[in-house]
């Protein structure tokens, strides 16, 4: 292993040599013909001609190589008071039998399967069983409402959906089955079969000839072997928010993904086979795909599947309990989870109750790590606290302190340096490079490294339009930021209409589409305003139709309910104000950044392009009514 500078340089100057070597950590059914196919930019393909099976690499080969009795998965569920441990052999047994179930239902290589499940071992088994058959899974986060699930069903067109009877959110029971039924009613594509895992505390009603019981199917299932697939075949689709109401189906291939994730565990997370790695996220998000399921299992680690939160399940000591009880070496979560602990236990009384001597690193991502939270976590834990930056599209980090290569001094507010493979640049609107410390648009020179999105699901044109066309030769991240004089990357936030709420990526455009359907609404804008716990929260500004008079609180309640019904509670939409009109440029563009500044209590200049400046005072007044637009910026975590 070389130093960071050497490794980084090699990854950019000789990507084929660099990733060709990394690929030896994966077991191939057939070796690739070429490491990188650059013949059709911007559609780059890694390990063309190679064949492998991701599930084989995550399970079978570890059992064959003597890890059969090692714990592969620790399921820790404070909400159901359950802890269960599964060895690699046991997970392999469950996965190969569930793959048999799916095969009997007609699922074959290349078919799609939607998984709508809470954080239970069966979700992991379902994902790996798809991978075993060469089928393409699309996991949908449980906090999404039926309409969002229906959009994903329509796009992925699965013949089989896998779900569960329900989940427990802290103390509240959430029934998944009625949500699934409603989604299938709404969807134009109708899946033939639904496999339902009945949780002991909640029995779902079943629809005859469509719904099948997981346990019953498993009791008659025979295990099936792995089906080799092309390295370039899709492993999964994961939908993520774009600027419109139609989510983007990010595609992940098999070969590049396995190589990149296996590499990242060792060189970014400094985590070795046999160690305990815990990503406190959800299988419905990219972090869950990469670092609850695939990354740790491809590496032969023990992964922790945690069905709980950082607070309230039952207290702010929950994370420390899990770390000490299961010997976690590396924890990966979102800064919000730590801000929640900090709020309830500012002096860290709970941490004193647990032995964290085996705990080594805290990695945070999903949103900007504000320096306050960094210092609090670092002072409390006295361990490295590492901010790193990535996106659903990339599937693994773009910039990080790569602890397995070289540990750089941490600069709070920065995610350190570009990860080998990512040629990160900061440019202005015209595509010119900007100076150190000058904020601009963050792009990555093509080709992107293995494991990143080869395209969007059945939407090559949208892929090109969204990411590749804006600055030809570069992938546009939609994030703003800068390099400092030491080459550290600072990511300052999205430059589009995507917002980040508790580390979850949400589209304000999608919320606007829902609000616009209200019978009294003429037009609306949703912006992300700063919040001291969740980073950002959506706030709606609503213009009523001519002649309509509505009481603000009552209208707000209706809009909140509409967003919960259409998008889901995870949107965290709780605030809206009525305004006479929206501030716009003379050409009709809504001045969102000005509204955002007003909401955050920042100084703002009246834009020279505004059609009528008098509306800004009214908006400031309205936002004050709901606790925003406070000039002391108490809401900001920064």
Residue 555, classified by CB atoms within 10 Å of its CB into exposed (0-12), middle (13-18) or buried (19+), is buried
DSSP string, 366-396: SS---HHHHHHHHHHH-S-EEE-B--TTTSS
Q: Can you read off the two tokens belonging to residue 255?
A: 């070969």
H helical segments located in 198-243: 214-219
For residue 395, the minimal CB distance to ligand AMP (Å) is 9
Q: Which residues pair with 197 in a beta bridge?
A: 164
Minimum distance of ligand AMP from residue 91's CB (angstroms): 26
Q: Give 195's strand partners.
A: 162, 212
d(CA 447, CA 475): 8
Torsion of CA 509, 513, 518, 524, to 10 degrees: 40
Q: Which is nearer to ligand COA, 10 or 564 (CB)?
A: 564
Residue 572 binding partner per list ligand AMP, ligand COA, none, with a CB distance cut-off of 5 to 8 Å that depends on partner kind = ligand COA
Q: Residue 487 and residue 437: Cα distance in Å, rounded? A: 10
Whichever of 23 and 362 has its CB closer to ligand AMP, that residue is: 362
Give the residue among 119, 117, 181, 101 at the shortest CA–CA distance from 146: 181
CB of 595 to ligand COA, least distance (A): 23
The residue within the footprint of ligand AMP, chosen from 389, 422, 474, 475 (CB under 6 A), is: 389
240 binds ligand AMP (CB under 6 A): yes
- Between residues 45 and 490, which has the closer beta carbon with respect to ligand AMP? 490
Least distance to ligand COA, CB of residue 335, Å: 8
Nearer to ligand COA, 311 or 541 (CB): 311
Cα distance between residue 446 and residue 44, in whole Å: 9
- Which option in ligand COA, ligand AMP, none does residue 569 bind, with CB closer than 5 to 8 A by kind? ligand COA
Residues found near ligand COA in the complex (CB under 6 A): 142-143, 167, 169, 174, 280-281, 285, 287, 309-311, 333-334, 336-337, 340, 365-366, 502-504, 569-570, 572
Would you say 55 or 167 has its CB closer to ligand COA?
167
Among 115, 415, 525, 576, binds ligand AMP (CB under 6 A): 415
User: Is the CB of residue 607 less than 8 Å from the CB of residue 591?
Assistant: yes
For residue 240, the partner it binds in ligand AMP, ligand COA, none, with Cβ less than 5 to 8 A by kind, is ligand AMP
Q: Which of ligand AMP, ligand COA, none has residue 76 at its interface (CB below 5 to 8 Å by kind)?
A: none
Q: Are 27 and 57 in contact (CB under 8 A)?
A: yes
| Helix pair 552-566, 146-156: axis angle to 10 deg | 30
- E strands in 67-135: 71-77, 82-87, 112-116
Task: Figure out which of the listed residues 164, 231, 251, 286 binds ligand AMP, where binding follows CB under 6 A.
Answer: 286
- 13 burial level (CB within 10 Å; 0-12, 13-18, 19+): exposed
Question: How is residue 297 written in tokens?
Answer: 């299992």
505 binds ligand AMP (CB under 6 A): yes
| Residue bearing tokens 């602990």 | 341
With respect to ligand AMP, which residue has the nearer C-beta, 311 or 369? 369
Contact assessment for residue 410 and residue 384, using Cβ atoms and an 8 Å cutoff:
yes
* CB 341, min distance to ligand COA, A: 9
Can you tell me the distance from the alpha carbon of 196 to that of 524, in angstroms, rounded to the nearest whole number?
39
Q: CB under 5 to 8 A by kind: which of ligand AMP, ligand COA, none does 491 bind? A: ligand AMP
Token pair, residue 74, equals 């620790």
User: Could you say whether residue 490 binds ligand AMP (CB under 6 A)?
Assistant: no
| Whole-number Cα distances in Å, 126 to 113, 132, 280, 288, 451 | 9, 10, 19, 14, 21
Q: Applying CB under 6 A, which of residues 96, 392, 416, 466 lies at the interface with ligand AMP?
A: 392
Q: Quote the least distance from Cβ 493 to ligand AMP, whole Å.
A: 6
Q: Which does 337 bind (CB under 5 to 8 A by kind): ligand AMP, ligand COA, none?
A: ligand COA
Rounded Cα distance between 577 and 572, Å, is 16
Tokens coding 284: 């419905």
Residue 424 binds which entry of ligand AMP, ligand COA, none, CB below 5-8 Å type-dependent: none
Q: Which residues pair with 544 in a beta bridge?
A: 521
What is the closest distance, in whole angstroms, from the C-beta atom of residue 368 to ligand COA in the complex?
13
Q: Is 401 in the site for ligand AMP (CB under 6 A)?
A: no
* DSSP secondary structure of 23-51: GGGS--SB--SEEEE-SSTT--EEEET-E
Rule CB under 6 A: is residue 596 a binding residue for ligand AMP? no
Please identify which residue in 76, 479, 497, 575 interacts with ligand AMP, judged by CB under 6 A: 479
**Contact partner at residue 505 from ligand COA, ligand AMP, none, CB < 5 to 8 Å by partner kind:** ligand AMP
**At closest approach, how far in Å is the CB of 506 from ligand AMP?**
9
Which one of 1-9, 363-371, 461-469, 558-566 is the stretch in contact with ligand AMP (CB under 6 A)? 363-371
Cα distances (angstroms) measured from residue 135 to each of 42, 55, 211, 516, 557: 25, 11, 20, 38, 42
333 binds, among ligand COA, ligand AMP, none (CB under 5 to 8 A by kind): ligand COA
Please state the closest distance from residue 337 (CB atom) to ligand COA, in A.
4
Tell me, by CB under 6 A, how many residues bind ligand AMP: 20
Binding residues (CB under 6 A) for ligand AMP: these are 240, 286, 365-369, 387-392, 415, 479, 491, 493-494, 500, 505
């Amino acid at each position: 292993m070389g130093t960071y500078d050497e490794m980084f340089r090699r990854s950019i100057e000789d990507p084929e040599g660099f990733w060709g070597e990394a690929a030896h950590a994966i077991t191939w059914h057939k070796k690739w013909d070429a490491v990188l196919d650059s013949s059709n930019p911007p559609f780059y393909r890694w390990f063309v001609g190679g064949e492998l099976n991701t599930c084989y690499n995550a399970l079978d080969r570890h059992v064959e190589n003597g890890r059969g009795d090692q714990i592969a998965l620790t399921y820790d569920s404070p909400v159901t008071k359950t802890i269960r441990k599964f060895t690699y052999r046991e997970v392999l047994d469950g996965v190969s039998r569930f793959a048999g179930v799916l095969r009997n239902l007609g699922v074959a290589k290349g078919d799609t399967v939607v998984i709508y499940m809470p954080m239970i071992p069966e979700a992991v088994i379902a994902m790996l069983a798809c991978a075993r058959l060469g089928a393409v899974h699309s996991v949908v986060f449980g906090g999404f409402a039926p309409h969002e699930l229906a959009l994903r069903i329509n796009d992925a067109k699965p013949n089989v959906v896998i779900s569960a009877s329900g989940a427990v959110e802290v103390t509240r029971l959430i029934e998944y089955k009625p949500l699934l039924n409603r989604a299938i009613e709404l969807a134009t594509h109708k899946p033939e079969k639904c496999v339902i895992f009945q949780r002991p505390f909640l029995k779902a009603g079943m629809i005859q000839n469509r719904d099948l019981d997981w346990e019953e199917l498993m009791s008659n299932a025979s295990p099936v072997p792995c089906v080799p697939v092309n390295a370039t075949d899709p492993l999964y689709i994961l939908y993520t928010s774009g600027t419109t109401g139609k989510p983007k189906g990010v595609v992940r291939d098999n070969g590049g993904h396995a190589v990149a994730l296996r590499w990242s565990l060792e060189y970014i997370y400094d985590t070795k086979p046999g160690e305990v790695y815990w990503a406190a996220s959800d299988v419905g998000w990219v972090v869950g795909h990469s670092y609850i399921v695939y990354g740790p299992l491809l590496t032969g680690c023990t992964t922790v599947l945690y069905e709980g939160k950082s607070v309230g399940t039952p207290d702010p000591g929950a994370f420390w309990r899990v770390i000490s009880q299961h010997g976690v070496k590396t924890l990966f979560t979102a800064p919000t989870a730590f801000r929640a602990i900090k709020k309830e236990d500012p002096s860290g009384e709970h941490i004193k109750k647990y032995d964290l001597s085996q705990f080594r690193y805290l990695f945070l991502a999903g949103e900007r790590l504000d320096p306050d939270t960094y210092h609090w976590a670092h002072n409390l834990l006295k361990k490295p606290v590492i901010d790193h930056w990535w996106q659903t599209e990339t599937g693994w980090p773009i910039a990080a302190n790569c602890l397995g290569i070289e540990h750089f001094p941490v600069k709070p507010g920065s995610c350190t340096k570009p990860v080998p493979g990512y040629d990160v640049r900061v440019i202005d609107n015209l595509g010119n490079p900007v100076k150190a410390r000058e904020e601009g648009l963050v792009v990555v020179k093509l080709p992107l490294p293995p494991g990143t999105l080869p395209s969007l699901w059945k939407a090559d044109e949208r892929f090109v339009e969204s990411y590749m066309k804006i600055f030809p030769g570069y992938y546009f991240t939609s994030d703003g930021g800068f390099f400092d004089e030491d080459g550290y990357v600072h990511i300052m936030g999205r430059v589009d209409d995507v917002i980040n709420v508790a580390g979850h990526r949400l589209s304000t455009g999608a919320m606007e589409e829902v609000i616009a359907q209200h019978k009294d609404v003429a037009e609306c804008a949703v912006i992300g305003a700063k919040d001291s716990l969740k980073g950002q929260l959506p706030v709606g500004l609503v213009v009523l139709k001519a002649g309509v008079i509505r009481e603000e609180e009552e209208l707000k309640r209706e809009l909140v309910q509409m967003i919960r019904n259409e998008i889901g509670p995870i949107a965290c939409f709780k605030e809206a104000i009525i305004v006479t009109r929206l501030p716009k440029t003379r050409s009709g563009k809504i001045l969102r950044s000005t509204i955002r500044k007003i909401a955050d209590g920042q100084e703002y200049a009246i834009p020279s392009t505004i059609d009528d400046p008098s509306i800004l005072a009214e908006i400031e007044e309205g936002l004050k009514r709901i606790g925003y637009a406070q000039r002391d910026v108490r809401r900001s975590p920064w």
